[in-house]
């Protein structure tokens, strides 16, 4: 487990390919988030005391399960406060990170943060997911977006047999997976680095018959 904010920063800095510019983008994100959180309720105020553990590493740890080379976009569902989408884009600025968010104030926040962080390849899609045009993507991520069965139902149309799904699910990961009616055997749970009780549902829909 990552114990504190210093350990969290050091853990991110040691990730492959992370340089001073990437760390500066994340420091800026934290600064902007703290400021914006005084105007709109993006994350709980308490979580800002350990923002690097609770939000930055919690997002960045997904990279361990993502392909190194992304032939297509990384689609993040319900990016809201920016997690994990903005963190992934900060650490992989060459990746095409698509952040779907439906609430107007959050769309505006994401766009301001994206521009300030210089994330030219990332895109905020300010729509309900149901309205987003179908296209194949390399990764689908979603933190605190919807229960697993609903999430899969809403977004399977973006998945190919190679799309990697990375779904931080907190303490409910195992239970949500065990209750899944369809595609259960295509996923497993990885331990989160930020909370001993939390898991990340990881998998692909390889061999699925219906999109």
Nearer to ligand SAM, 127 or 206 (CB): 127
Nearer to ligand SAM, 82 or 203 (CB): 82
Distance CA 177, CA 147 (A): 10
Buried b (16+ CB within 10 A) or exposed e, 39-62: eeebbeeeeeebbbbbbbbbbbbb
Q: Which 114-143 positions form the footprint of ligand SAM (CB under 6 A)?
A: 128-130, 143
Three-class secondary structure of residue 176 per DSSP:
helix
Annotated binding residue 111: no
Is there binding between residue 176 and ligand SAM (CB under 6 A)? no
Annotated binding residue 130: yes
Q: Which 24-53 positions form the footprint of ligand SAM (CB under 6 A)?
A: 43
> How far is C-alpha 73 from the geometric centre of its chain's CA atoms?
13
Distance CA 202, CA 182 (A): 15
Max CA separation in the chain (angstroms) = 47
Contacts of 14 (CB under 8 A, 6+ apart): none
Is there binding between residue 103 and ligand SAM (CB under 6 A)? yes
C-beta of residue 116 within 8 angstroms of C-beta of residue 108: no
Report the residue from 106, 114, 164, 169 that binds ligand SAM according to the rule CB under 6 A. 106
Annotated binding residue 129: yes
Nearer to ligand SAM, 79 or 163 (CB): 79
Annotated binding residue 92: no
C-beta of residue 138 within 8 angstroms of C-beta of residue 71: yes
Is there binding between residue 150 and ligand SAM (CB under 6 A)? no
Cα Rg of the chain, angstroms:
16
Residue 57 Cβ vs ligand SAM, minimum distance, rounded to whole Å: 13
Nearer to ligand SAM, 126 or 184 (CB): 126
DSSP classification of residue 38: T
C-beta of residue 42 within 8 angstroms of C-beta of residue 135: no
Annotated binding residue 83: yes
Is there binding between residue 80 and ligand SAM (CB under 6 A)? yes
Is there binding between residue 182 and ligand SAM (CB under 6 A)? no
Nearer to ligand SAM, 129 or 198 (CB): 129
Report the residue from 144, 153, 171, 206 that binds ligand SAM according to the rule CB under 6 A. 144
Residues binding ligand SAM (CB under 6 A): 43, 78-81, 83, 100-103, 106, 128-130, 143-145
């Amino acid at each position: 487990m990552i114990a504190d904010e210093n350990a969290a920063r050091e853990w991110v800095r040691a990730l492959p390919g992370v340089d001073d510019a990437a760390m500066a983008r994340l420091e800026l994100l934290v600064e902007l988030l703290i400021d914006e959180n005084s105007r709109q309720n993006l994350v709980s105020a308490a979580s800002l005391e350990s923002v690097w553990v609770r939000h930055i590493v919690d997002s960045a740890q997904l990279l361990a399960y993502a392909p190194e080379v992304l032939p297509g976009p990384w689609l993040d569902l319900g990016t809201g406060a920016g997690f994990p989408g903005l963190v992934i884009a900060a650490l992989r600025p060459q990746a095409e990170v698509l952040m779907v968010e439906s609430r107007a104030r959050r769309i505006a926040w994401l766009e301001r943060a994206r521009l300030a962080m210089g994330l030219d390849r990332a895109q905020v899609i300010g729509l309900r997911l149901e309205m987003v045009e179908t296209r194949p993507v390399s990764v689908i991520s979603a933190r605190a977006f919807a229960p697993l069965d609903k999430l899969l139902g809403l977004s399977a149309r973006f998945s190919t047999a190679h799309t990697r799904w990375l779904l931080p699910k907190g303490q409910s990961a195992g239970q949500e997976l065990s209750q899944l009616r369809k595609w259960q055997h295509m996923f497993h749970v990885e331990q989160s680095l930020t909370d001993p009780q939390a898991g990340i549902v990881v998998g692909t829909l390889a061999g699925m018959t219906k999109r």
